[in-house]
């Protein structure tokens, strides 16, 4: 089916842009001498992940056990579940390992470590546990110099559970937009995680893998000495937040929402489309950045940004595009016209859809299913 024939709203993947993003990131990781374990929460799509693996990715990172189950069923065995494990999920995680999945789980506190040890003793189970490190105060994890890091490592080791590695994610990179600042944070991310691993090893606790990564720091790092692998996710599609950060340009954004014009409000200079926040998501991640894109960037059907247009509002099923000039809206945007909107946050927008429509260079589209749920 051609793009103009699709029902709206629809999530569109520009395959050529996506493939360029995948190739460029993999080439950068190869040049830096590290393995690349992409975070697949952005796409949750087997077709996209196969393209990443074909380019050279080693294993994947997931954010839900549902993702782990679905990708393992498709034949991917090396999986890192990069969200702190809740004790109630241990049976489900172990079921994957029993089926042959090389699933790694993570923890950042003693209570979780003890729960893992207790479960393994009671059920005859085994896990590879990685410890989460907080290198930028962004979210969860242990500070590299925290005494608890060694304590947790010993709880696991003495309980017969191997510490497979340490990992961190410099999420605060999304708040930056200067190359020097991004490079400095990439160095901080690297140095902090490597230091945590060295402390564990010095304490006699084996720690095989140092895993770091966010899309901005992966692109800004000058070297990765001491690092074994990098994780990044949103690079596969990119989005407007990443454009503001400086990680991409708008013509590298591979995900868009196809919408149809359904009305006009000439007195307000508004064009109404059938893609509201249910289609775009409520994410307003660009609102505190250098350029506020509202609910997205309006583009023509070929993906070219439309000058003088801003997606200024979104109700559940209605999007509002404000047109700066006083031109005839009905002439420029006739009822039924289709356009594309680039998203603020690709992960959040993709999550609104059960499937993508993958756009080839000849204008045809194919359906790529997307995983839902936890």
Per-residue pLDDT of 157-205, as tens digits, reads 999 999 999 999 999 999 999 999 999 999 999 999 999 999 999 999 9
Domains observed in the chain: 3-9+248-369 (2.40.37.20), 16-234 (3.20.20.10)
Structure tokens at 26: 């993999």
Q: What does the pLDDT look like over 259-316, one tens digit per residue?
A: 999 999 999 999 999 999 999 999 999 999 999 999 999 999 999 999 999 999 999 9
Burial class (CB in 10 A: 0-12, 13-18, 19+), 283: buried
The pLDDT of residue 332:
96
> Residue 314: in which H helix or E strand, if any?
strand 309-314
In angstroms, rounded to a whole number, what is the distance separating the alpha carbons of residues 125 and 7?
Answer: 48
In angstroms, rounded to a whole number, what is the distance separating the alpha carbons of residues 120 and 124?
Answer: 5
Mind spelling out the 3-state secondary structure of 25-77?
HHHHHHHHCCEECCECCCCCCHHHHHHHHHHCCCCEEECCHHHHHHHHHCCCC
Average pLDDT of 137-160? 97
Q: What does the pLDDT look like over 9-51, one tens digit per residue?
A: 999 999 999 999 999 999 999 999 999 999 999 999 999 999 9
User: Beta-carbon neighbour count of residue 187 at 10 Å?
Assistant: 16
Q: Calculate ∠ Cα 38-39-41, nearest 5°.
A: 145
Q: Please tell me the pTM assigned to this model.
A: 0.97
Radius of gyration of the chain (CA): 22
Backbone angles phi, psi at 229, to 5 degrees: -150, 160
Q: What does the pLDDT look like over 221-239, one tens digit per residue?
A: 999 999 999 999 999 999 9
The pLDDT of residue 313:
98
Say whether pLDDT at 325 is over 90: no
The pLDDT of residue 322:
98
């Amino acid at each position: 089916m051609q793009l103009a024939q699709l029902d709206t709203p629809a999530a569109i993947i520009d395959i050529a842009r996506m493939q360029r993003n995948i190739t460029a990131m993999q080439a950068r990781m190869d040049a830096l001498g590290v393995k690349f374990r992409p975070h697949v929460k952005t796409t949750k799509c087997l077709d996209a992940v196969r393209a990443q693996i074909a380019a050279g990715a080693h294993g994947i990172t997931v954010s839900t056990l549902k993702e782990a189950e679905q990708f393992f069923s498709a034949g991917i065995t090396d999986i890192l579940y990069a969200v702190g494990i809740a004790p109630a999920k241990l049976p489900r995680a172990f079921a994957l390992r029993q089926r042959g999945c090389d699933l790694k789980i993570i923890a950042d506190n003693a209570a979780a470590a003890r729960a893992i040890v207790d479960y393994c003793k009671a059920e005859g189970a085994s896990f590879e546990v990685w410890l989460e490190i907080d290198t930028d105060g962004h979210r969860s994890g242990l500070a590299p110099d925290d005494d608890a890091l060694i304590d947790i490592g010993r709880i696991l080791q003495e309980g017969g559970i191997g510490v497979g590695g340490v990992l961190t994610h410099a999420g605060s990179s999304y708040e930056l937009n200067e190359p020097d600042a991004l490079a400095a944070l990439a160095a901080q991310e690297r140095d902090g995680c490597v230091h945590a691993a060295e402390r564990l090893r010095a304490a006699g606790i084996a720690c095989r893998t140092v895993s770091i990564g966010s899309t901005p720091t992966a692109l800004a790092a000058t070297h990765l000495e001491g690092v074994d692998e990098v994780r990044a996710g949103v690079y596969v599609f990119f989005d407007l937040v990443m454009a503001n950060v400086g990680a991409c340009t708008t013509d590298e954004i591979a995900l868009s929402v196809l919408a149809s014009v359904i009305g006009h409000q000439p007195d307000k200079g508004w064009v109404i489309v059938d893609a509201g926040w249910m289609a775009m998501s409520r994410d307003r991640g660009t609102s505190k950045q250098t350029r506020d894109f509202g609910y997205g960037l309006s583009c023509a059907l070929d993906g070219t940004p439309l000058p003088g247009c801003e997606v200024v509002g979104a109700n559940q099923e209605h999007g509002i595009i404000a047109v700066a000039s006083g031109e005839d809206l009905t002439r420029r945007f006739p009822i039924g016209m289709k356009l594309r909107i680039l998203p603020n946050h690709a992960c959040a927008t993709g999550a609104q859809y059960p499937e993508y429509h993958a756009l080839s260079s000849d204008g045809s589209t194919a359906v790529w299913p997307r995983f839902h749920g936890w």
